[in-house]
Chains A and B, each alone.
Chain A
Amino acid sequence: MTIFDWQSELNRDGHRVVISGQPIAMHCHHYNINLQKTLEETLGEEGVQLLYRSVEETNYNGLQHLFNQYKKIRTLKSKLEMAALLYQNCGLGILHFKKVRPNSAYIVSTSNHHVTGWLAKHGRRNTPGCHFTRGWIAGTLEVIYERPLGFYIVEERRCKMQGDDTCVFHVKER
C-alpha cells in the first residue's frame, strides 16, 4: 500500500514551515482554545459555524492538494488512512473512520487536541465542543467523494469534553 511520507512532506521553505508546500503554523492549545471560546462567547452559533467552515475549507484545500500529489492513493481506505495520518501527525488527535459511505459516515475520535486543550483550560462543558474536528471531517469527506464544500453536515453525538468516553461523529448530506 502506498502511504504518504510524512517526514519528507513536513519541511522548511526559508523561514516558513510547510506541509507538502502549504504554509502551516504551530500553535498551542491556549491559542486554539482561546479562539474557540472567543467565537462561541461573542457570536454564539454563528461563531461555531465560522470555526467549522474555516477548518472545513482549509482542510478541503489541503487534502485536495495532497491527493493530487499522491495519485497512487486512490482507494477510499487509503485516502481515509492518509487523512487520519495527517490529523495524527499534526497533533490534532486520533480519528477512526468506522463506517464511511457516500451519503453517511460514522467516525470515532479517542483523543484530540481540542478535547485535551479544552479540559486542561476549562474542565468539562455541557455541550459537544469538537467543532474543529467536525469541520475537519466534513472537508475530508467532501474531497474524497468529490462533493462541493458544505455538502455534508457533521454532528457530534458524544463528546469527551462532556465526560463521554469518546467523541462520536455522524455525517449526513445537508
Chain B
Amino acid sequence: MEGSKIRESKGIIPLFGVYLSLCATQYYNKLSFDFEEKMGKKRESEARTLLIGAAQECGYATFQGIRDSWEWKQVVAPMIDNKEDQILGFVAVAVAFGWGDLAVEELIPGEKLIIRVSDSYEARGYLQQHGLAKSEKCYMLRGVAGAFMDLIYGGDYPEGLYVFSASETLCRAKGDAYCEFIARKSSHRSDA
C-alpha cells in the first residue's frame, strides 16, 4: 500500500486525500478544555465556536476526501442506494477513527440529522479530568455532525461548508445517559 511505504520512509500517513495521525485522546481533551478555560468566562462562547469550527472544517475536508477515495468507491459505494446512505458510511468511518460509538438516530433529508453517542472521548475525558460539567463538551463531534450534513446537502466547497450547524442537546459530561447532536440548517445560512 502506498500509504504504508510513505509511513515507513517519512512517518506520514496519506490516506483519503488527507494526512492522518494517531494521538492519545488525552491530548485533544487537554488542549480543548484548557483552551476553553484559558479564554475565561468572557470569551467562553468564542472558544467553543472556534473549536466547533475547526472540527467542522476538518470533518468536511476529511470526509470529502474519503468519499472521493478509491477505497470508498470500491468498498462502500456499491452498498449505497441513495445519498442518505453516505451518512451511515461516514459514521462507520468515524467509529473506526476512535471518535466514539456514533449511531444515526434520525435523518430527515436536507433538514435534520440526529446522532447519538454513548461513549464520546470528549465527554469521557471531561468527566475524568474535571468531573461533572455545567454545559455540553463534545465540540469535535458537534462540528463533525454539521459537516456530515454539509457534505450531503450543503453543496460544493467552500460555499457548502457551515450551511448546517449542530447543537449538542444531551451530553454525558453533564450527566446525561448519552450525547446527542442535532444538525440543522444554520440560521444565518437559511438561504443556502
Quick check: A28 and B58 within 8 Å, CB to CB?
yes
- B25 interface hit (Cβ, 8 Å): yes
- Say which one of A70-78, A84-92, A98-106 lies at the interface with B: A84-92
Across the interface, name the chain A residue whose C-beta is closest to B66: A28
Measured as residues with beta carbon below 8 angstroms from the partner, the interface class of chain B is: 35 or more
Quick check: B101 and A15 within 8 Å, CB to CB?
yes
Interface residues of A (CB under 8 A from B): 10, 14-17, 19, 22-32, 34-35, 38-39, 42-43, 46-47, 50-51, 54-55, 57-59, 61-62, 87-94, 110-113, 116-117, 120
Give every chain B residue within 8 A of A46 (Cβ-Cβ): 38
- A-B residue pair count with CB separations less than 8 angstroms: 161
CA separation between A32 and B19, bound complex, in Å?
10
- B100 interface hit (Cβ, 8 Å): yes
Quick check: A28 and B11 within 8 Å, CB to CB?
no
Give every chain A residue within 8 A of B7 (Cβ-Cβ): 88-89, 91
Taking the closest CB of chain A, its distance from the CB of B54, in whole angstroms, is 4
Quick check: B13 and A91 within 8 Å, CB to CB?
yes
Taking the closest CB of chain A, its distance from the CB of B148, in whole angstroms, is 15
Quick check: A116 and B31 within 8 Å, CB to CB?
no
Give every chain B residue within 8 A of A92 (Cβ-Cβ): 11, 21, 23
Quick check: A29 and B19 within 8 Å, CB to CB?
yes
Give every chain B residue within 8 A of A58 (Cβ-Cβ): 23-24, 26-27, 30
